[in-house]
A = this chain, B = another copy of it.
Amino acid sequence: MSVYKPKPVSGFPEWLPEERLIEQQWFDHIRNVFESYGFCSIETPSVEEIDVISAKGEVDKEIYVLERLHKEEGEKDARLALHFDQTVPLARYVAQHFNNLVFPFKRYQIQRVWRGERPQAGRFREFYQCDIDVINVDALPLHFDAEMPAIIWETLAGLPGMEKPENKIQLRISNRKILIGLCEELRIENVTEVIRIIDKLEKIGEQDVFADLLELGLSDIQLEKIIALASIKATPKYISGLLRDFITRNDVIARSDSNEAIQNLFKEGIEELTTVMNQLSHLPEGAVVADLSIVRGLDYYTGTVYETVFTDDPGYGSICSGGRYDDLASSYINKKLPGVGISIGFSRLFDKLRTKGAFDTTRKSPADILMVLPDEEQRETASETARTLRERGYNVELFHRAQKIQKQFAYAEKKGIPYVWLPDTGEVKCMASRNQSKADPKTWTKPEEESRDAAVA
B55, A64: Cβ atoms closer than 8 Å: no
In the complex, chain B residues whose CB is within 8 Å of the CB of A131 = none
Contact string against B for A residues 42-62, beta-carbon threshold 8 Å, 1 for contact and 0 otherwise? 111111110110010001011
Are B36 and A394 in contact (CB-based, < 8 A)? yes
- With the chains together, A104 CA to B92 CA distance in Å? 45
Q: How many residues of A contact B (CB 8 A)?
A: 104
- Which of A73-81, A293-301, A313-321, A429-437 contacts its partner? A73-81
Copies in the complex: 2
- What mask results when residues 323 to 345 of chain A are scored 1 for a CB within 8 Å of chain B, else 0? 00000001111100000000000
With a CB–CB cut-off of 8 A, which chain B residues contact A123? none
Partner of A36, one of B7, B49, B396: B396
Contact check, B37 vs A397: say whether CB atoms are below 8 A apart.
yes
Distance from A118 Cβ to chain B, minimum over Cβ atoms (Å): 8
Q: Which of A376-423 contact B (CB under 8 A)?
A: 379, 383-384, 387, 390, 394-398, 400-401, 411, 414-415, 417
> How distant is the Cα of A334 from the Cα of B3 in the complex, in angstroms?
7
Q: Are A395 and B46 neighbours in the complex by a CB distance under 8 Å?
A: no
Contact B41 A24 (CB under 8 A): yes
Q: Which of B13, B70, B331, B334 contacts A62 (CB 8 A)?
A: B70
Return chain B residues, CB-CB under 8 Å to A396.
36-38
Complexed CA–CA distance, A20 and B97 (Å): 14
Q: Check A12 for interface membership: any CB of B closer than 8 A.
A: yes
Q: Which residues of B contact A26 (CB under 8 A)?
A: none
B66 touches A41 (CB 8 A): no
Q: How far is the CB of A416 from chain B (nearest CB, A)?
A: 9
User: Which of B6, B36, B364, B411 meets A92, CB within 8 Å?
Assistant: B6
Residues of B within 8 A of A61 (CB): 69
A126 close to chain B: CB less than 8 A: yes
Any B CB within 8 A of the CB of A122: no
A16 near B96 (CB under 8 angstroms)? no
When distances are taken between beta carbons in the complex, the residues of chain B under 8 Å from A62 are 68-70
Contact A331-B36, Cβ < 8 Å, known A9-B78, A13-B45 = no
Which of A5, A112, A144, A383 has the most chain B CB within a 10 Å cutoff? Answer: A5
Interchain CB contact under 8 A, B80 and A69: no
Say which residue of B24, B45, B112, B279 sits within 8 Å of A379 (CB atoms). B279
**B104 pairs with A366, CB closer than 8 A:** no
Name the residue on B nearest A331 (C-beta): B4
B116→A68 contact, CB < 8 A: yes
Contacts of A15 in B (CB 8 A): 42-43
- Taking a contact as CB atoms under 8 Å apart, the answer to whether B6 and A66 are in contact is no
A40 interface residue, CB < 8 Å from B?
yes
| Contact call B68/A106, Cβ cutoff below 8 A | no
Q: Does A457 contact B (CB under 8 A)?
A: no
The answer to the question of A65 belonging to the interface, with a C-beta cut-off of 8 Å to chain B, is yes
A141 at the interface (CB under 8 A from B): yes
A21 beta carbon closer than 8 Å to chain B: yes
- Contact in complex: B65, A141 (CB < 8 Å): no
Contact A279 B383 (CB under 8 A): yes
Task: Give A188 Cβ to nearest chain B Cβ, in Å.
Answer: 28
Report how far A5 CA is from B13 CA in the complex, Å.
Answer: 35
Contact flag A17-B42 (CB < 8 Å), given A5-B333, A106-B397, A279-B379: yes
Known A-B contacts A44-B14, A379-B279; the reply to A67 vs B64 at CB < 8 A is yes
**Contact present for B69 and A3 (CB under 8 Å):** no
A401 adjacent to B45 (CB under 8 Å): no
- Which residue of B is nearest A23, CB measured? B43
Which residues of B are found within 8 Å of A49, using beta-carbon distances?
6, 9
Apart from A38-B367, A70-B116, list 6 A-B contacts with CB within 8 A: A1-B330, A7-B96, A39-B366, A66-B82, A143-B400, A282-B387
Which 10 pairs show the lowest CB-CB distances between chains A and B? A38-B397, A38-B367, A12-B45, A68-B116, A4-B55, A35-B366, A17-B40, A143-B400, A64-B66, A36-B390
